[in-house]
Amino acid sequence: MTEHPNSSGNQPPAKANSFRQMPDSRGHFGTYGGRYVAETLMPLVLELEREYRAAKADAAFQQQFDDLLEHYVGRPSPLYFAERLTEALGGAQMWFKREELNHTGAHKINNCIGQILLAIRMGKTRIIAETGAGQHGVATATVCARFGLPCTIFMGATDVARQQPNVFRMKLLGAEVVPVDSGAATLKDAMNEALRHWVAHVEDTFYIIGTAAGPHPYPELVRDFQSVIGKEARAQMLARTGRLPDLLVAAVGGGSNAIGLFHPFLDDPDVAMVGVEAAGHGIDSGQHAASLTGGAPGVLHGNKTYLLQDEDGQITEAHSISAGLDYPGIGPEHAWLYESGRVKYLPIGDDEALEAFQLCCRLEGIIPALESAHALAALPKLVGDYGRDQIILVNVSGRGDKDIFTVADKLGVKI
Amino acid sequence: MTRLSSAFAKPHRALVTFITAGDGDTAANLDALVEGGADVIELGMPFTDPMADGPAIQAANIRALGAGTTTAEVLRIAREFRQRHPDVPLVLMGYANPMVRRGPEWFASAAAEAGVDGVICVDIPPEEDDALGPALRAAGIAPIRLATPTTDAARLPQVLEGSAGFLYYVSVAGITGKQQAAQASIDEAVRRLKAATNLPVAVGFGVRTPEQAAAIAKVADGVVVGSALVELVGEHGKDAPEHLRKLTSALAEAIRTAG
Ligand SMILES: Cc1ncc(COP(=O)(O)O)c(C=O)c1O
């Protein structure tokens, strides 16, 4: 993507030996990624790739994207110095990238704006999407309302039951919400059903995937659309402090908010990065969603990546208190960054996230999403490695209003 | 001649039948298919996430996995089938992850050792052939590819390159199950495919009745029936073999008189 005019900062061009040149022409990040889809879908993903290349080179497309991000989403999102959290942790400066202030309350909308513009460009007349917690579903329903396209959201029946407010939001926005009963009836099953629906409606339907995963070119284009986060943060940090952060921290479900923050910094050798995976009840319990720490390479949902699976390659159910991290896979670029060592990945459990959630509420007056609370929970573990003059930048990927019922329940409070 | 090419060289068109391994008494069910007149057996490898399958085969996958079906068990079913039926071609059909989990070479040699003739992997398109194709070819197993209504003329050569055994034409843009293609569209597609390849062309997805099978057999080299058989296994459990035999003979009979 060409640079966002408001936020290009001093972005260096990608170098030889760059971490920013993936994927290759076949959509591979090292050995990960690719296009593992049924033949029926192959011509579609090839067409999507052609159209994406054309859009990327089209100044008018970029301009429309930037304009919507500014005036509809409310970008740039602020870069905020979290003074009291910094004091409480007693070490490096803690800064927040405030993605929770975006329209619809999370980073998900950045990607949805980009993809719906692509859908319109390709002449598609219907939109489908999968959703777990409902954040991506709400963001998709929002852009569909904005552009007047009919929208069908696939959502696991278990998630429909535990995320009623988001289900109602999607319906208010005019979307049809289809509960999916197969499997454990959560995000993975919603994605299966969306793929089944797509295969049967290839002519007119665009599938807006909600994270940096799926068949090529999805991991690349979702990353590019989400890279507005890192481009802004880079420029904002330079403007405010005259330097780059020492460490970036972000929660990783499929990996879109993390790769969006990380990617523009990947070739800055002095910027370290940590992706936070959901450890649920602990890696040893088997009830977690940490695909890198507790999984192995395999093929699912159109890409090769790390997956939670048994010795026969059957996919095992993920668990996290955070519905947005409750997925047994991870985007392929993270699999590659993990193996290359450029990014470290740290597992954080339900209880730690719950504690960080409350801490952020009380110290900063910000109710973070449970997903983002996983990133915040990593800070006490990382702060010791950095001096007081150093800077740690955390992506607060979403706000936690959607999670208050889950949190109240965990805290034994009736609301 | 391989077992697969012999099956397509018979005086009549080939009946290709699919059931899921580990769903019910698979050995008895497979025997019933052969007795009913199936010319080629497709044995489904169960997977937790069968993305290209409709409700009937999804349910069969869940039943099979629920019964504890492992990859070792699928291979055992194949090996014992081969011992009982030395001449009937056997094709494994499924998804990439269970096939590549222990490495493609492991899978290819284990399948070859079990007497498997071909493999259909739904989610490895020609673009990702490296993930499994070379290992299958080295083990003497035919990688059987799918062509679909969205496979256009420009793309077809890529699909055919490296295909072996037969070409599986998926007659509907959709998942397995009840959706049916118009016969005219099948006729047109099969003519197009046969002009481009010497491989036998078998047509599947949505084929349920002897009447449909007969119509397809007029143009194609083979007819694939899956969901309708899998439903019988789900419905009749232990008594499935007699029902499978009945439907298979009706299909075989229809194909023989048509082709
Ligand atoms: C606020 C928030 N953060 C993070 C995620 C995780 O997704 P990703 O890893 O793609 O950013 C979600 C997913 O629903 C989310 O809603």
* Residue extents of the structural domains in chain A: 28-72+108-222, 75-105+227-410
Nearest CA to B152 out of A39, A74, A281 is that of: A39
Active-site position among B23, B39, B53, B221: B53
Residue B47 has pLDDT above 70, yes or no: yes
Q: Is the CB of A166 under 6 A from ligand 1?
A: no
Give tens-digit pLDDT for B200-244: 999 999 999 999 999 999 999 999 999 999 999 999 999 999 999
Q: Is the CB of A193 under 6 A from ligand 1?
A: no
Task: State the ipTM, two decimals.
Answer: 0.97
CATH number of B3-258: 3.20.20.70
Q: Is the CB of A252 under 6 A from ligand 1?
A: yes
Whether residue B51 and residue A35 make contact (CB cut-off 8 A), yes or no, is: no
Q: How many helices (H) and strands (E) does chain B have?
A: 12, 9
Over pLDDT 70: what percentage of chain B? 100
Round to whole Å and give the CA distance between A185 and A172. Answer: 23
Q: How far is the CA of A306 from the centre of ligand 1 (A)?
A: 18
Whether residue B51 and residue A34 make contact (CB cut-off 8 A), yes or no, is: no
Residue A1 has pLDDT above 70, yes or no: no
Give tens-digit pLDDT for A172-191: 999 999 999 987 888 999 99
Nearest Cα of chain B lies from the Cα of A35 at a distance, in angstroms, of 7
Give tens-digit pLDDT for A296-317: 999 999 999 999 999 999 999 9
What Cα–Cα distance (Å) separates residue A144 from each residue in A17, A128, A170? 40, 10, 10
The residue contributing the CA closest to ligand 1 atom 7 is: A253
Over pLDDT 90: what percentage of chain A? 92
pLDDT of the residue at B259: 60
pLDDT of the residue at A10: 52
Q: How far is the CA of B223 from the centre of ligand 1 (A)?
A: 45
In this complex, which of B58, B150, B179 lies closest to A40 when CB atoms are compared?
Answer: B150
Which of A97, A111, A256 to mutate to test ligand 1, by most ligand atoms within 8 A of the CB atom? A256
- Assess whether the region A28-72+108-222 and the region A75-105+227-410 belong to the same CATH fold: yes
Q: Which CATH architecture has domain A28-72+108-222?
A: 3-Layer(aba) Sandwich (3.40)
Residue A7 has pLDDT above 70, yes or no: no
- Rounded to an integer, the average pLDDT of A344-362 is 98
Q: How far is the CA of A277 from the centre of ligand 1 (A)?
A: 11
Instruction: From chain B, pick out residues whose CB is under 8 angstroms from the CB of A188.
Output: 49
Given a contact cutoff of 8 angstroms between Cβ atoms, the answer to whether B239 and B209 are in contact is no
Q: Which CATH architecture has domain A75-105+227-410?
A: 3-Layer(aba) Sandwich (3.40)
Active site residues of A: 108, 130, 397
pLDDT of the residue at B54: 95
- Rounded to an integer, the average pLDDT of A336-351 is 98
Nearest CA to A10 out of A227, A239, A342, A228 is that of: A239
Q: Across all residues in chain B, what is the average pLDDT?
A: 97
pLDDT of the residue at A133: 84
Give tens-digit pLDDT for A195-248: 999 999 999 999 999 999 999 999 999 999 999 999 999 999 999 999 999 999
Which amino acid, one-letter code, is at A102? N
Whether the link from the prior residue into A76 is cis, omega within 30° of 0, is: yes
Which amino acid, one-letter code, is at B168? Y
pLDDT of the residue at A9: 44
Q: Is the CB of A134 under 6 A from ligand 1?
A: no
pLDDT of the residue at A5: 39
Which of A135, A138, A396 to mutate to test ligand 1, by most ligand atoms within 8 A of the CB atom? A135
Asked if the C-beta of A304 comes within 8 angstroms of chain B's C-beta atoms, the answer is yes
Residue A55 has pLDDT above 80, yes or no: yes
Instruction: From chain B, pick out residues whose CB is under 8 angstroms from the CB of A180.
Output: none
Band of residue A92 on the pLDDT scale cut at 50, 70, 90: very high
Round to whole Å and give the CA distance between A290 and A276. Answer: 9
Whether residue A315 and residue B128 make contact (CB cut-off 8 A), yes or no, is: no
Residue A11 has pLDDT above 60, yes or no: no
Band of residue A14 on the pLDDT scale cut at 50, 70, 90: low
Which of A257, A333, A402, A404 to mutate to test ligand 1, by most ligand atoms within 8 A of the CB atom? A257
Nearest Cα of chain A lies from the Cα of B82 at a distance, in angstroms, of 22
pLDDT of the residue at B142: 98
Query: What SS3 class is residue B94?
Result: strand
Whether residue A36 and residue B125 make contact (CB cut-off 8 A), yes or no, is: yes
Asked if the C-beta of A192 comes within 8 angstroms of chain B's C-beta atoms, the answer is yes
